[in-house]
Structure 1
Amino acid sequence: MGLMGVAANTSERVHSVPPAMYGGNIDINELGAGATVYYPVQVAGALFYTGDSHFAQGDGEVALTALEASARATFKFTLLKAGKDKIPGKEIVQPLAENAEFWITPGLDEDLDEAMKKSTREAIRFLNQEYGIDEAIAYAYLSAATDFEVSQVVDKTKGIHAKIRKADFKEFEK
């Protein structure tokens, strides 16, 4: 699903499409069957929403749409509570995703350069908090061994995401 998110904590009208802290049109190609997406829950009940099912999509989604079609999707929801449950990166401050191969940290901004910086900063924070890696070492690792891909440029808010290989951190697992 290209569009997934939870309700924002605001009395203002919020459009569900432009991606933000609560989700939206994230359009990350790696989020297929079996992937997990973590959202910072802002309101009671989370109020999850989804749509924009893709049968195929290129990274970037440059022409407004992917190969769109109707679909029936099944989701499993788990509420992780701070201080009680193991939370990836110790806290969810923005959407975070994982699949069997990667941890995925999106960066979202109207400016693609800023989106890249946000993805990088979140990846550094994640590696530091999840694995105890010094921030300077995490930064060097990201430069040498992590792929950053453009998620989408179709919305006013653009997306870039880091794909951090889980296999590189097997020795850190407890």
Structure 2
Amino acid sequence: MPQNMFPLDSSRKFEDQQQLGHNRWHPEVPPIATVKPGDSFRVDCREWFDGAIVNDDSAEDILNAPLLTVHKLSGPFAVEGAQPGDLLIVDILDVGPIPQEDSGPLAGQGWGYTGIFAKNNGGAFLTDQFPDAYKAVWDFKGQVATSRHIPEVSYEGLIHPGLMGTAPSAELLAKWNKREGDLIATDPNRVPPLALPPEADHAVLGGLDRGEWQRVGSEAARTAPPRENGGNQDIKNLSKGSRIFYPVFVDGANLSVGDLHFSQGDGEITFCGAIEMGGFIDLHVDLIKGGMDTYGVHENAIFMPGRVEPQFSEWLAFSGTSVTLDGEQRYLDSHLSYQRACLHAIDYLVKFGYSPEQAYLLLGAAPIEGRLSGVVDIPNSCSTVYLPTAMFEFDVRPSSAGPHQIDPGIGAPRAANAA
């Protein structure tokens, strides 16, 4: 096993560990360790809410999820010799739930969760149709996930980190804050908000001197969106065997990682749409000196997906076009067409006895495929969502016999005091 550079004790909160990670992006967050090009090492990761979401049949924890505290990131790790303009090569050697802990109160100890966030606390891709908080808990058996909240489905997860990236330079951070602040100013009272500004009170800034936390926290970028440094890209195919090439913006690169997922559908459409968990990730790092100019990779990582993934061979696909539910035509709006494809899949699954919320949670958590299928045929873009038929314990295909009726069981918990 590679040396564990960031061990976590499951009995202690993230902020009470021997080494302190961070939950904001800023060039002044110091590295907790230095590795060399060619090194392999292990990193423990806590799920993004650090245990705030529990294994029960209530969604009150999702309704009141502490979004200001996320993501709980392990790192940063400096890479010896890395300089701005280089490309950092990161190989994912292995990734999985918390080792040797198959039961316990933390997500990753034999279980994980998926949530639909309330519209007034984060929202989601389909927040206008699903404004309330719901939750599904998934049990792990090897690589297979099942849920008491979404019966008659089981599938292999494609385990991956939702978030990994390098530190921004001061100039890049200022660019982020300017452009996101300008966006917020166009509709400052929108619910959910258009972007998340810096927020110092809940910032965790690793080994930075505590006297600097307020100043740095008031500048540091929130970790919710993906940006030029990688970050919260939520790409399900960044799994075991993947190789990622990250732009380097500061000396040492300062790589951080977290937000592990047992499984996820393309788009992570419920926002907390993956199966969230804590666990471990084994990484190998190397450098391409001057690689940003050599390969024209000045912003956003490029990657080679791993070859280890569930072997689904049959799919049931749904399409959507850029027409609103009210019948308004939009011009080549691929975001809208993917929403409509997902809604068509949900409408279909409801015919088998699932509630709309159960179907929505399933599309967020299962390894569905989402595609932009047509982006040139004015005025309609066409998006498609592919559901692997093998994840259902019944024949989900249309037939003259009509849809099988599942027993919905206890259903997906809804927050009792939801609007």
Using structure 2 for the length normalisation, give the TM-score: 0.23
Query: Structure 2 CA distance, aligned partners of 1:113 and 1:59?
Result: 18
> What root-mean-square deviation, in Å, do the aligned CA atoms of Structure 1 and Structure 2 show?
3.0
DSSP-derived class of the 1:57 partner: coil
User: Conserved in 2, the CA contact under 8 Å of 1:37 and 1:96?
Assistant: yes
The equivalent residue for 2:279 is 71
How far does residue 16 in structure 1 lie from its aligned partner after superposition?
2.3
How far does residue 20 in structure 1 lie from its aligned partner after superposition?
0.4
Gaps of 5+ in 2: 1-160, 174-218, 308-331, 336-368, 373-419
Identify if the C-alpha distance between structure 1 residues 77 and 20 changes in structure 2 by more than 3 Å, giving closer, same or farther.
same
Which of these residues, 201, 225, 250, is aligned with residue 18 of structure 1? 225
How far does residue 29 in structure 1 lie from its aligned partner after superposition?
1.3
Using structure 1 for the length normalisation, give the TM-score: 0.53
State the percentage of identical aligned residues: 34
User: Conserved in 1, the CA contact under 8 Å of 2:266 and 2:370?
Assistant: no
How far does residue 89 in structure 1 lie from its aligned partner after superposition?
7.4
Identify if the C-alpha distance between structure 1 residues 77 and 18 changes in structure 2 by more than 3 Å, giving closer, same or farther.
same
Query: For each residue in 1:127-169, what CA deviation from the matched residue of structure 2 results, as whole angstroms up to 9, or x when unmatched?
Result: xxxxxxxxxxxxxxxxxxxx9847xxxxxxxxxxxxxxxxxxx
Q: Do structure 1's residue 53 and structure 2's residue 251 form an aligned pair?
A: no
Which of these residues, 149, 163, 178, is aligned with residue 3 of structure 1? 163
User: Conserved in 1, the CA contact under 8 Å of 2:242 and 2:305?
Assistant: yes
DSSP-derived class of the 1:72 partner: strand
Identify if the C-alpha distance between structure 1 residues 76 and 7 changes in structure 2 by more than 3 Å, giving closer, same or farther.
same
How far does residue 30 in structure 1 lie from its aligned partner after superposition?
1.1
Query: Structure 2 CA distance, aligned partners of 1:100 and 1:69?
Result: 20
DSSP-derived class of the 2:288 partner: coil
Q: Which amino acid aligns with 2:169?
A: N
Q: Do structure 1's residue 92 and structure 2's residue 314 form an aligned pair?
A: no
User: Conserved in 2, the CA contact under 8 Å of 1:2 and 1:25?
Assistant: yes
Identify if the C-alpha distance between structure 1 residues 88 and 31 changes in structure 2 by more than 3 Å, giving closer, same or farther.
farther
Identify if the C-alpha distance between structure 1 residues 55 and 79 changes in structure 2 by more than 3 Å, giving closer, same or farther.
same
DSSP-derived class of the 1:37 partner: strand
1:4-153 pair list within 5 angstroms: 4-10=164-170, 12-65=219-272, 66-82=274-290, 90-93=295-298, 94-99=300-305, 149=371
User: Conserved in 2, the CA contact under 8 Å of 1:3 and 1:17?
Assistant: no
Q: Which amino acid aligns with 1:79?
A: L
Query: Structure 2 CA distance, aligned partners of 1:32 and 1:113?
Result: 29
Look at both structures and tell me which one has the larger radius of gyration over its CA atoms.
Answer: 2
Q: Which amino acid aligns with 2:276?
A: E
Alignment size in residue pairs: 106
Bigger helix fraction: 1
Query: Structure 2 CA distance, aligned partners of 1:89 and 1:99?
Result: 22
How far does residue 39 in structure 1 lie from its aligned partner after superposition?
1.1
User: Conserved in 2, the CA contact under 8 Å of 1:8 and 1:14?
Assistant: no
Identify if the C-alpha distance between structure 1 residues 78 and 25 changes in structure 2 by more than 3 Å, giving closer, same or farther.
same
Identify if the C-alpha distance between structure 1 residues 51 and 149 changes in structure 2 by more than 3 Å, giving closer, same or farther.
farther
Query: For each residue in 1:67-118, what CA deviation from the matched residue of structure 2 results, as whole angstroms up to 9, or x when unmatched?
Result: 0111111111111112xx7x897232221111257xxxxxxxxxx9699xxx
